[in-house]
């Protein structure tokens, strides 16, 4: 394993991991639905991320596929190296390709966590994000359910995804929040949660850091990642790709900045 972590290191959910993580959303079929066209290549990307490039922050969700990527991660990486942080998300249902519906029912959240544990082959999720706050369920019930699972030892740390400062403040009343994951890139550059996370001394994990590839050509990826990393040492981007050669390029960009 490469011991020189890309973009340096950051503490997330009790582990010191590579500041450049790997987002796994693209390891599915079109519409984030079903199996990838080339399953063997998807497994290879995951293995190279960890064992070749030293990426130790792997981000996923039960909704990717749904379920597809959690199975891929287990097949590719289990048993997991001690230094690898697995972060997953629960609280989203997938009626069809490209359709995403928040579901924060406590029973569903509990079932989702327990199912993710089985698919990943672990006894505790290092970091479990609420994928979206469900506006139809009290936040106290949603975060409270994850907090109970935390006391049971099934979740190590709780995160939030796609939230505002008001969301963060409300959720924080019910449990400590260990990380926030929001969309941020040089085409969508404004998110007050960057400053909130800095003030709270917790990681800010920008997803869609290359705007789904729209800013990745003609040197755009290097500039986009450099811009994100320059926002502060608490910013830990999670670019994703389905191609090993593209992953190698992204890692090289962060090591040469």
Residues acting as catalytic residues: 64
Nearest alpha carbon to residue 241 among 215, 217, 213:
213
Q: How far apart are CA 108 and CA 48, in angstroms?
A: 34
Instruction: Report how far Cα 168 is from the mean position of its chain's Cα atoms.
Output: 17
Q: What are phi and psi of 2, to 5 degrees?
A: -65, 120
Q: Is 116 helix (H, G, I), strand (E, B) or coil?
A: helix
Q: How far is CA 151 from CA 113, 155, 175, 178, 186, in A?
A: 13, 8, 11, 15, 39
Counting DSSP H helices and E strands in the chain, the numbers are 8, 11
Q: How far is CA 219 from CA 223, 236, 256, in A?
A: 7, 20, 13
């Amino acid at each position: 394993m490469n011991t020189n972590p890309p973009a340096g290191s950051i503490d997330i959910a009790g582990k010191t991991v590579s500041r450049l993580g790997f987002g796994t959303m693209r390891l599915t079929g079109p519409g984030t639905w079903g199996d990838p066209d080339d399953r063997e290549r998807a497994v290879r990307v995951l293995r190279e991320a960890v064992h070749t490039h030293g990426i130790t922050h792997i981000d996923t969700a039960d909704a990717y596929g749904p379920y597809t990527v959690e199975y891929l991660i287990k097949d590719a990486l289990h048993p997991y190296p001690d230094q690898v942080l697995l972060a997953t998300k629960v609280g989203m249902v997938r009626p069809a390709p490209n359709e995403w519906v928040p579901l924060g029912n406590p029973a569903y959240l509990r079932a989702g966590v327990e199912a993710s544990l089985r698919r990943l082959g672990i006894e505790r999720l290092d970091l479990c994000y609420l994928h979206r706050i469900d506006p139809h369920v009290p936040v106290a019930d949603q975060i409270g359910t994850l907090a109970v699972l935390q006391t049971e030892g099934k979740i190590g740390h709780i995160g939030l995804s796609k939230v505002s400062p008001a969301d963060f403040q409300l959720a924080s009343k019910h449990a400590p929040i260990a990380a926030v994951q929001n969309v941020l890139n040089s085409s969508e550059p404004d998110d007050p949660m960057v400053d909130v996370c800095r003030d709270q001394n917790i990681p800010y994990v920008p997803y869609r850091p290359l705007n789904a590839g729209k800013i990745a050509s003609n040197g755009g990826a290097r500039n986009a990642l450099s811009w994100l990393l320059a926002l502060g040492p608490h910013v830990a981007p999670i670019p994703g790709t389905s191609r090993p050669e593209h992953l190698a390029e992204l890692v090289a960009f962060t090591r040469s900045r």
